[in-house]
Amino acid sequence: METVRINGYDVDLSSFKMSTCGEVGYAYKDGVKKFCKKFNDPVDAVDNGTLSPKLQERRKKEFQEFTARRIAINRKLREVAGMGGNIIRPESEFEYNAHWYEITEFVPNVVPEEEVPSVIKNQSEDDKLKILKIAIQSLRTVHNVGIVHADLKIPNIMLVKTASNVYASKIIDFDGAFFENNVPLEGITGTLDYFSPELALYFQQEDPEERESIVKMITTKSDIFTMGLVLHKYLTGEFPKANRLSPQLSVAAEKGYIYPWQVVRDRNNDGSMNQLKVDSTKIRHKWLVALISDMLQLDYTHRPNTAEIISALDRRTVIVDDKWPEDNIEIDTNKIKSDYAGLRRVAFKGRNGNTVHCYSLIDNDGIRTLMDVNDLKNKNLAKEKAEILPPLPDDNIIWGSKLYEECIGIKPNKSRKGFYTLTYKNGNQRHVDIPLLKMLKYATPKNTPPPPPPIIPKNKTLWESDAEKYEIIEGAQMSGITFAGRCEEEPSQHLYYIDRGNNFLQRVPLSTLVMFKLVRRKS
């Protein structure tokens, strides 16, 4: 063993071997084994007479910026991650002979890198997800303090065999990490296979001034894209493939390997974008297909954060996002869960700068189709929300009591003047004009005085047999409907009055009170 004493550590020079950052080996402190990393680039400028003053000053500045970033990142990692946890962070760092060194804890029972693929392959799907969930939870800790790892990949999610003979994961190699509000214009390391599309765009642009316009896209969501690739490779053994390719990228693919980020940035001659296809022959859970698809989106703002990913891993159900309120629709959740992997609300900036609200329908291979509300209706995935809207002022009518008894919705027909769209209680719809509405006694002329309302009952109680199991919810109302009391005109039917406003009373059974949440079962 050839050791040298550096900054209180006995560094074993004979243990060092080459790595992507420079050299890695072992060091010892008070007899405890440590992991030691030596960075080969950048190197502090040494005044040995071989460099021009200008070059020497430039190298010194690069080294100072690099070390300042490393110290800041390491300090923050030490604040949020303790020794022996699932985030392997440097416990010490220093300069020696113009090179930067970092010392981390030595982790026993680590699976050798060359054995990791076979270990992963032999795990069940649940065990694979447990391993990655640990890594994602660790990544959440890092992201919460604004740190971008920027070089996530399977080798940097270290596998450790625990005492209970299962595998846990630890995130390592924060060599290229940075704060998302302080993206360096030079010196970021990464692995091309695992690049996010925005990180690839950043690296392809060599002009520092042009890079400044791109750095705002480099956020913690860059790691999410990469983790999506890791998740897919863990479960299938390979990266996701393209759903299709443009002629230009097809030529490149025939000549050799193309990267996942190239696929999602690929644009066809008609202007459409291509996507990464989730291997649904090996990933059969729809919720998991949708989650990976969410993580692999081109637009980084639409990718989930680590907390949302962990929630999806816990929930394990197909997610159908709520509709946009202004669309006034009811989504057929059961049909989507049966035929698709999920539905997401999407907002983006239109050409005129306005925010456009639409939907992203995810098929069972993770391919997303952008749709507006009419597309959803045409595919019978949504229908107009049934509600009783007031008649148009110019139509000079008011709704009759029979409308409320037989229908759950009515609204003016936008395409046919003088017509209204009725929705019956069974869900069927019908378009009727004003004369027919009057004939059906769904509407009466506005200038015709309505019949006097029935006397409001004074006894706002339940029938004795109903009161044994149910109780009135004091002050409850739904859509302006309140409980009025027992209908004592026909006591044998045990009906009740509900007040729809302006003393308009309607006779209903107990089940309607329950539906409107005016009464509830006793606990």
What mean pLDDT is predicted for residues 82-101? 91
What confidence score (pLDDT) does residue 504 get? 74
| Contacts made by residues 481-489, CB under 8 angstroms, sequence distance 24+ | 481/516, 481/518, 482/518, 483/513, 483/518, 483/519, 484/456, 484/457, 484/460, 485/456, 485/457, 485/458, 485/459, 485/460, 485/461, 486/457, 486/459, 486/460, 486/461, 486/462, 487/457, 488/457, 488/459
User: What CA–CA distance (Å, rounded) separates 500 from 505?
Assistant: 6
User: What CA–CA distance (Å, rounded) separates 306 from 223?
Assistant: 10
Mean pLDDT, all residues of the chain: 90
Give me the half-sphere count of Cα atoms (radius 13 Å) on the Cβ side of residue 292. 31
Alpha carbon distances (Å) from 227 to 136, 141, 312, 317: 8, 15, 14, 20
pLDDT tens, position by position, 339-355: 999 999 999 887 788 89
Angle, CA of 72, 78 and 83, to the nearest 5°: 155
Terminal Cα distance for the chain, rounded? 75
Q: What is the largest CA-CA distance in the chain?
A: 110
pLDDT tens, position by position, 140-153: 999 999 999 999 99
Alpha carbon distances (Å) from 392 to 100, 327, 396, 400, 448: 76, 20, 7, 15, 17
The more confidently predicted of residues 337 and 49 is 337
What confidence score (pLDDT) does residue 458 get? 66
Q: Contact at 8 Å (CB) between 207 and 220?
A: no
Alpha carbon distances (Å) from 175 to 106, 181, 201, 333, 403: 17, 17, 20, 45, 70
pLDDT tens, position by position, 410-444: 999 988 999 999 999 887 889 999 999 999 999 99
Q: Is the pLDDT of residue 190 over 90?
A: no
Helices (H) and strands (E) in the chain, counts: 16, 27
The confidence band for 523, taking pLDDT boundaries of 50, 70 and 90, is: confident
Peptide linkage before 42 cis (omega within 30 of 0) = yes
**What is the residue type of 75?**
R
User: What CA–CA distance (Å, rounded) separates 292 from 270?
Assistant: 26
The confidence band for 283, taking pLDDT boundaries of 50, 70 and 90, is: very high
Q: Is the pLDDT of residue 51 over 80?
A: no
Q: Is the pLDDT of residue 260 over 90?
A: yes
Q: What is the pTM of this model?
A: 0.78
Q: What is the dihedral of CA 446, 452, 456, 462, to 10 degrees?
A: -80
> Could you give all domains of the chain from N- to C-terminal order, each with its CATH number?
1-106 (3.30.200.20), 109-240+278-317 (1.10.510.10), 319-377 (no CATH), 393-445 (no CATH), 464-521 (no CATH)
**What is the residue type of 403?**
L
Given the structure tokens 């007040």, which residue do they identify?
499
Q: What is the 3-state secondary structure (H, E, C) of 224-246?
A: HHHHHHHHHHHHHCCCCEECCCC
**What is the residue type of 488?**
E
**For 169-183, 232-246, 307-321, 474-488, which range has the lowest pLDDT when averaged over its residues?**
474-488
What confidence score (pLDDT) does residue 306 get? 97
User: What CA–CA distance (Å, rounded) separates 468 from 135?
Assistant: 54
Q: Contact at 8 Å (CB) between 299 and 370?
A: no
* 144 Rama class: left (phi>0) / alpha (psi -120 to 50) / beta: alpha
Over the range 483-494, which residues count as b (16 or more CB within 10 Å of their CB) and which as e?
bbbbbeeeeeee
The confidence band for 49, taking pLDDT boundaries of 50, 70 and 90, is: low
Q: What is the 3-state secondary structure (H, E, C) of 313-368?
A: HHHCCCCECCCCHHHCEEECHHHHHHHCCEEEEEEEECCCCCEEEEEEEECCCCCE
Q: Is the pLDDT of residue 453 over 70?
A: no
Q: What are phi and psi of 250, to 5 degrees?
A: -65, -40
**Per the structure block, which two tokens stand in for 387?**
């509600």
The confidence band for 477, taking pLDDT boundaries of 50, 70 and 90, is: confident
User: Who's near 227: CB < 8 A, 6+ residues apart?
Assistant: 132, 135, 136, 139, 152, 295, 309
DSSP string covering 86-155 = SB---SEEEEETTEEEEEEEPPSSBPPGGGHHHHHHTS-HHHHHHHHHHHHHHHHHHHTTTEE-----GG
Q: Contact at 8 Å (CB) between 356 and 347?
A: yes
